Amino acid sequence: MTRALFVIDVQNDFTEGGALGVTGGAHVAQAVTDHLRAHRDRYDLVVASRDWHAPDGDNGGHFSAEPDFVDSWPTHCVQGSTGADYHPDLDTALVDVHVLKGDGRPAYSLFDGLVDDGRPFGDVLAATGVDEVDVVGLATDHCVRASALDAVTAGLGVTVLTDLVAGVAPAPSEAALAELRAAGVRTAPSSDVVDGSTGVPA
């Protein structure tokens, strides 16, 4: 078994005080770092994604002056901005592969992104032989959800670590976790996974 950790969009604009900050975002940044420092040997590969939106234009309708917060959003995670940076409590020295997504178009899933050398993330992942993945990060009801669903579609065994994610709001976050379980994703606290529990199956 080859296992990866997907760290989804732990960026300043998605944590408290950011353009689309979620409650608990900064806690997730530190908690993911603590998890990795304690259990780095669990993972053969650690991947972190970032929204990386073009500074000009509306990024394919993703940005709007009157956002509906479903398909359109306030300006966030613009390339080169502080908001697009990883949160400072996330230790990026523990990350093997960095993925950028959303350059000029909407992109929620890690699988929509490119690695530093311009290759699609899916191609890079396929070459690693990873077959199991833990998913953490922001936000539960959007990019975590999309990334986990695409990981299932890619044929991976997927677990969302429920204490290492935070969502925009409780109700849609619970709905997203229920949808993920129905798709075959396991959900469990990180302590259960490390201790060998199977979590909650679909």
Q: Where are the domains of the chain?
A: 3-51+83-133+144-194
- Phi (first) and psi of residue 41, to 5 degrees: -75, -10
Instruction: Indicate if the pLDDT at residue 17 is higher than 90.
Output: yes
Model confidence over 102-135: pLDDT tens digits? 998 889 999 999 998 999 999 999 999 999 999 9
DSSP state of 141: I
Tokens of 130: 């990873």
Least confident range of 16-25, 51-60, 141-150: 51-60
Identify the CATH assignment for 3-51+83-133+144-194 out of 3.40.47.10, 3.40.50.850, 3.10.270.10, 3.20.20.140: 3.40.50.850
Three-state DSSP state, 107: coil
**Which has the closest alpha carbon to 13: 73, 103, 93, 99?**
73
d(CA 76, CA 201): 34
Is the pLDDT reported for residue 201 higher than 80?
no
Please list the active-site residues.
9, 101, 143
- pLDDT tens track for 166-188: 999 999 999 999 999 999 999 99
The confidence score (pLDDT) of residue 196 equals: 65
pLDDT of residue 202: 36
User: What share of the chain in percent tops pLDDT 90?
Assistant: 82
Mean pLDDT of the chain: 93
Q: What is the pLDDT of residues 58-96, one digit of tens each?
A: 989 888 989 888 888 889 999 999 999 999 999 999 999
Peptide bond into 84 cis (omega under 30): no
Task: Annotate 104-124 with b (16+ C-beta within 10 A) or e (fewer).
Answer: eebbbbbbbbbbeeeeebbeb
Residues in the chain: 202
Residue indicated by tokens 């065994």: 157
Residues β-bridged to residue 166:
138
Q: At what angle do helices 145-153 and 170-182 cross, to 10 degrees?
A: 10
